[in-house]
Amino acid sequence: SQPISFQAKSSPIAFQCTRLFSVSRPTLEDVAITRTGKPIIKIAGGRSSLGGHTATVFGATGFLGRYIVNRLARSGCTVVVPFREEMAKRHLKVSGDLGRVVFLEYDLRNTASIEESVRHSDMVYNLVGRDYPTKNFDLEDVHVEGTQRIAEACAKYDIDRFVQVSSFNADKNSPSEFFRTKARGEEVARNVFPETTIVRPAPMFGFEDRLLNKLASASNLFTSNHMEERYWPVHVIDVGMALETMIDDDNTASQTYELYGPTEYSTAEIAEFVDKEIIKHRRHFNLPKAVMKPVAQALNRAVWWMKTSADQVEREFIDQKIDKTAKTFADLGIEPAELPSLTFDYLKGYRSSVYYDLPPQTERERREEKRYLHVID
């Protein structure tokens, strides 16, 4: 590529102009034609760059949402964030430059508001999901009907790409309603929009997770399966990275990805890591399923904040099964992080301050301590 520069270089101002306008012509690869034939100006990336994709992220106000909105916005994409509660979306505003993160109020039952959210985008992510039924939405409403409305809006406006975030163990014959409805959501998405990319994350851990924080919290934990369920926990930042990769790689269209961590653990094993990291012993009580399920159901109906539900008790008895036909992190060129390498970062806040001068407890602390060893003479 040839630099474009001014002819007159005699004065200092002209010299400045030369420097200002001495930009490379974009090469042909800088313009990409999307699946539906729209041109996209590919940008080098950076928070303040112009051009790039416009992506709508449904469910951006949740745990995973911030890790994809942040990645897209900081690489210069315009991100449309449909939201339903003012306070829940505030933290996303600063993840991008002024005007790059756009908020639109929507309702999962209001088709017009969903269409308004997707019509200017070339990429749509659906992260909407709930672990438990609520007063106004059961799992079918959220995972099946909600997905159908979003997929139909994508088809109506001929959106280039649609990514549906489902779940590990999504199976129409599962004893868990959550896994059944997630599988039906996948089916509905593929029927309406055949190029849908399906992403099935394993249980995710990170700062705002419901895995490490639950095991580390001071309240007693009630379980039914002695915490013996086994799964491959995955780092939420790795899942965010995978979702971002999909925006630039059209080969991921129509594919199914199972995103899981490198090692399988039981909840009891993770609880051991947690206790070691927080230097406290958390108490766990095991109650029979026959007692726990009705109690969890009654609690789910009685209180409006997240506690537990009968279906969550059911899920304790289901180990994660890997679908060998699905693609994984390896197909996206991502190496997933190990859980024990990050527990210190996520759990140090739970430690008592009396331990501030303890010798390093984890491999990472030991590595970091080395930074302060100097050979002076």
Contact footprint for ligand NDP (CB under 6 A): 59, 61-65, 84-85, 88, 108, 127-130, 137, 142, 165, 167-168, 201, 203-204
Closest separation in Å from C-beta 68 to ligand NDP: 9
Say if residues 85 and 65 touch (Cβ distance below 8 Å): no
Nearer to ligand NDP, 40 or 118 (CB): 118
In angstroms, rounded to a whole number, what is the distance separating the alpha carbons of residues 319 and 355?
A: 36
Q: Which CA distances in Å does 2 have to 5, 29, 181, 200? A: 9, 15, 55, 45
Nearer to ligand NDP, 67 or 76 (CB): 67
CB of 268 to ligand NDP, least distance (A): 18
Q: How far is the CB of 90 from ligand NDP (least distance, A)?
A: 12
Q: Toward ligand NDP, which CB reaches closer, 168 or 350?
A: 168
Supply the minimum distance, in Å, between the C-beta of residue 93 and ligand NDP.
15
Tokens of 85: 């509660």
Find the shortest distance in angstroms from Cβ 256 to ligand NDP.
14
Give the C-alpha separation, 207 to 278, whole Å.
Answer: 15
d(CA 130, CA 134): 9
Query: Is there a contact between 253 and 245 (Cβ–Cβ < 8 Å)?
Result: no
Q: How far is the CB of 154 from ligand NDP (least distance, A)?
A: 16
Residue with tokens 């699905």: 326
Tokens coding 27? 């090469």
Nearer to ligand NDP, 6 or 63 (CB): 63
Give least dist CB 70 to ligand NDP, A. 13
Closer by beta carbon to ligand NDP, 40 or else 204? 204
Tell the smallest beta-carbon distance from residue 188 to ligand NDP (Å).
14
Return the number of the residue (129 or 261) whose C-beta is nearest ligand NDP: 129
Tell me the closest approach of the beta carbon of residue 190 to ligand NDP, in angstroms: 16
Q: Judged by CB, which is closer to ligand NDP: 85, or 357?
A: 85
Q: Which is nearer to ligand NDP, 52 or 161 (CB)?
A: 161
Residue among 88 and 303 whose Cβ is closer to ligand NDP: 88
Q: Toward ligand NDP, which CB reaches closer, 40 or 239?
A: 239
- Nearest approach, Cβ of 219 to ligand NDP (angstroms)? 19
